[in-house]
Amino acid sequence: MSFYGLRRLYVPLALLVVAAVSRKHITDLAPAYQQVIEWLPYITLGIALALSAFFNKSRIFTAALGLLALYIVIRWQLDAPLGSPRVFVVYTVAGLAWPLGIGILLFTPERGLLNRYGFMLVAIVPLFVLAGWGLLHFVPGPAAALASDWLRPHPWPRYVLSAGVSALFLLAFLTSLIMLMRRDLEDTAALAAALLFAFETLAFFDLPWISRTMIGSAGLALIVSLVRSSYDMAFRDELTGLLGRRALNDRLKGLGRHYVIAMLDVDHFKKFNDTYGHDVGDDVLKMVAMHIDRVNGGGTAYRYGGEEFSVIFPGKDMEDCEPHLEDVRRAVGRYRLALRDVKSREAPQKVAKQRRGRRQHARENSVSVTISIGVAERNDRATTPEEVIKIADEALYRAKEKGRNCLSR
């Protein structure tokens, strides 16, 4: 678990702050501009729905549809004081439905939109709407049934959302943060952002223009998330989460006259695959990538291919970068990688037969991993990134010859 995944919430939080600040000045705008703000949620959520359908993202599509339904309900059903029993029921059901719905989306794996799983997931939104409509029309005295201290609005001054619904929102948001720290997925960040904007809308419901600005900005946050997801699919390595070879090639084109390139390789990687299987080999690559991605000194990590990685330090020299690379090497060497239970691994029948004998002897609970590093900088002898990479590869080979688990230049 790492706090690194929380960086995906920077943009949604910035949009939340901008929406909160700009809301106070909307009344000063001309009526034509106010009309644009009125339609902003329809525009941004419509774009989010179209993009999520294009990228086959069922969870973000469902979240966008839910936000659109929330905005329609607010505009058509909640334009009255909460003292009205009907308005109170609609507001309370909307508040309960949002964290519950996001909770379902958080624990549902992404299986695409245009299939039965996607249709079943999207059906959550109309089902919640129908449940609220049925409660309002067919349950005798729904307002009385919901009128408990935990569901009563205005528990504190200038705060509308009830204590019970607030606790439910908090639980769902903490769950999303934990999942984001564990898996670092853009879709999880998008769901957490949708939850935040819905909470802000309902918690401060009596403020002017709150639903227009917050839900409209929520649509923008989902759009940003979808764009970032498409970037990750194109430029990030799926296994390790690092930027991939395509991103590295693009970065090499824009380097200036001063830079350092390091090539890093996992020592005895074939041994891990042969001894413990490719699933443990994948764990090794993910662990090493995690440490390399934390390199300091302005370096950016890439997966070069196989068990080889690369780090680029723009505008740096060798003396600036070596201490940070040594920190990464030592951090990898100190880490103990827990082995998976070999009895629970699933493998094709033929592969299982080939590995059964040697896996019976793999009884260690954990293993240590080391890396070797070759580093080079641009100079009069190596004037292009390709030449610098070649020299760094040669230095990496020398590090292997020295006994591995070391840095060479």
Q: What is the DSSP string of 199-262?
A: HHHHHTTTSTTHHHHHHHHHHHHHHHHHHHHHHHHHHB-TTT-SB-HHHHHHHHHT--S-EEEE
CA angle, 190 then 192 then 196, to 5°: 115
Q: 229: Cβ–Cβ under 8 A, 6 or more apart, which residues?
A: 55, 57, 186, 187
In 3D space, the residue among 100, 105, 102 whose CA is nearest the CA of residue 121 turns out to be 105
CA–CA distance, 387 with 187 (Å, rounded to integer):
39
Tens of pLDDT, residue by residue over 244-270, are 998 898 888 888 888 999 999 999 888
Q: pLDDT band at 234, cuts 50/70/90?
A: confident
Q: Would you say residue 323 has pLDDT above 90?
A: yes
Domain boundaries, the chain: 3-235, 245-408
Q: What is the pLDDT of residue 363?
A: 44
Rounded to the nearest 10 degrees, the angle between the axes of helix 269-276 and helix 349-359 is 100
Q: What is the pLDDT of residue 346?
A: 45
Average pLDDT over residues 281-285: 89
Residue pair 56/112 in contact (Cβ under 8 Å)? The answer is yes
Q: What is the pLDDT of residue 146?
A: 66
What is the average pLDDT score of the chain?
A: 87
Q: pLDDT band at 340, cuts 50/70/90?
A: low
- At 98, the amino acid letter reads W
CA angle, 101 then 106 then 107, to 5°: 105
Tens of pLDDT, residue by residue over 64-99, are 999 999 999 999 888 777 778 888 888 989 999 999
Tens of pLDDT, residue by residue over 10-57, are 999 999 999 999 999 998 888 999 999 999 999 999 999 999 999 999
Strand partners, 338: 366
- pTM (predicted TM-score): 0.74
Residues known to be catalytic: 307
* Burial status of residue 263 (CB atoms within 10 A of its CB: 0-12, 13-18, 19 or more): buried
Q: What is the pLDDT of residue 356?
A: 45
| Residue 345: φ, ψ to 5° | -75, 140
245-408 carries CATH number 3.30.870.10: no
CA–CA distance, 37 with 216 (Å, rounded to integer):
8
Residue pair 300/328 in contact (Cβ under 8 Å)? The answer is no
Q: pLDDT band at 360, cuts 50/70/90?
A: very low
Tens of pLDDT, residue by residue over 109-156, are 999 998 889 999 999 999 999 988 887 777 666 666 666 778 888 888
Average pLDDT over residues 315-323: 91
CA–CA distance, 73 with 71 (Å, rounded to integer):
5
